[in-house]
Amino acid sequence: MLSNEQVREKVIDIIADIALDSDLSGLNDQEALRDQLDLDSMDFLDIVMELKKRHKIEVPQEDYPQLRSMSSCVEYLAPKFNV
Amino acid sequence: MTQLKTKSLHERIVITGIGLTSPLGNNLAELRENLLLGKSGITHGEIRHMGIQALGKCHFDEQAYQSKKMRKRGTRAGAISIYCAHEALKDGFYDLKNIASDRVGVYLGITEHGNVETEQEIHELYNSHDKNVEFWSHHHNPRTVANNPAGEVTLNLSITGPHYTIGAACAAGNLGIIQGVQQLLLGEVDLALAGGISESTETFGIFAAFMAQGALGKNIDPTKASKPLDKDRNGIVVSEGGAIYLLERLSDALARNAKIYGEIVGYHSNSDASDFVLPNDIRQAECMQKAIAKAGLKPSDIHLVNMHATGTHLGDIQECKAVQKVFHDCPHTYVNATKGFIGHAMGAAGALELAGNIPSFFDHQIHPCKNIDQLDPECAITNLVISEKKEAVVETILNNSFGMLGINSSLIVKKYKE
B12-24 pLDDT tens trace? 999 999 999 999 9
C-beta atoms of A53 and B138 within 8 A: no
B354-404 pLDDT, tens digit per residue, is 999 999 999 999 999 999 999 999 999 999 999 999 999 999 999 999 999
Among A residues 38-67, those touching chain B with beta carbons less than 8 Å apart: 38, 42-43, 45-46, 49, 52-53
Long-range own/partner contacts, residues B136-139 (CB < 8 A, 24 or more apart): B137/A49, B138/A42, B138/A45, B138/A46, B138/A49, B139/A42, B139/B73
Q: State the pLDDT confidence band at A83, using cuts at 50, 70 and 90.
A: confident
Nearest residue of B to residue A16 by CA position? B69
Residue A78 phi/psi, 5° resolution?
A: -55, -50
Burial of B120 (0-12, 13-18, 19+ CB in 10 A): middle
If you average pLDDT over every residue of chain A, what do you get?
Answer: 96
Nearest residue of A to residue B128 by CA position? A53
Q: What distance in Å separates the CA atoms of residue B25 and residue B352, rounded to the nearest whole number? A: 11
pLDDT computed for residue B9 by the predictor: 59
Share of chain B above pLDDT 90, in %: 97
Q: Are B77 and B199 in contact (CB under 8 A)?
A: yes
Q: Does the pLDDT value for residue B41 go beyond 80?
A: yes
B137-156 pLDDT, tens digit per residue, is 999 999 999 999 999 999 99
CA end-to-end span of chain A: 9
**B318: closest CA among B354, B350, B286, B351?**
B286
Task: Return the H-helix or E-strand segment holding A15.
Answer: helix A4-16
Q: State the pLDDT confidence band at B10, using cuts at 50, 70 and 90.
A: confident
**Residue A9: C-alpha distances to residues A46, A49, A70, A74, B50 (Å):** 17, 17, 10, 10, 40
Q: Does B138 touch chain A (CB under 8 A)?
A: yes
**B278: closest CA among B308, B314, B244?**
B314
Minimal CA separation from B72 to chain A, in Å: 8
Whether ipTM > 0.85 holds is yes
Q: Does A20 touch chain B (CB under 8 A)?
A: yes
Determine the average pLDDT of the residues in B8-14.
Answer: 80
User: What is the longest distance spanned by two Cα atoms in chain B?
Assistant: 65
Determine the average pLDDT of the residues in B292-296.
Answer: 97
**Residue A59: C-alpha distances to residues A20, A46, B350 (Å):** 23, 12, 48
Q: Does the pLDDT value for residue B159 go beyond 60?
A: yes
pLDDT computed for residue B6 by the predictor: 47
Nearest residue of A to residue B70 by CA position? A20
A55-71 pLDDT, tens digit per residue, is 999 999 999 999 999 99
Overall residue count recorded for chain A in this entry: 83
Considering only CA atoms, give the Rg of chain A: 12
β-strands B304-307, B334-337 pairing: parallel
**Residue B212: C-alpha distances to residues B54, B118, B205, B221 (Å):** 16, 20, 10, 22
If you average pLDDT over every residue of chain B, what do you get?
Answer: 96
**Residue B70: C-alpha distances to residues A22, B5, B18, B73, B79 (Å):** 12, 41, 24, 5, 9
Q: Does the pLDDT value for residue B1 go beyond 60?
A: no
Q: Does A16 touch chain B (CB under 8 A)?
A: no
Active-site residue flag, B163: no
**B24: closest CA among B240, B204, B312?**
B240
Active-site residue flag, B44: no
Q: DSSP of A33-79, one letter per residue?
A: HHHHS---HHHHHHHHHHHHHHH-----GGGGGGGSBHHHHHHHHHH
Q: Does the pLDDT value for residue A34 go beyond 80?
A: yes
Residue A62 phi/psi, 5° resolution?
A: -70, -15
Q: Does the pLDDT value for residue B2 go beyond 50?
A: no
B91-116 pLDDT, tens digit per residue, is 999 999 999 999 999 999 999 999 99
Residue A51 phi/psi, 5° resolution?
A: -60, -40
B22-36 pLDDT, tens digit per residue, is 999 999 999 999 999
Q: Does B63 touch chain A (CB under 8 A)?
A: no
Active-site residue flag, B308: yes
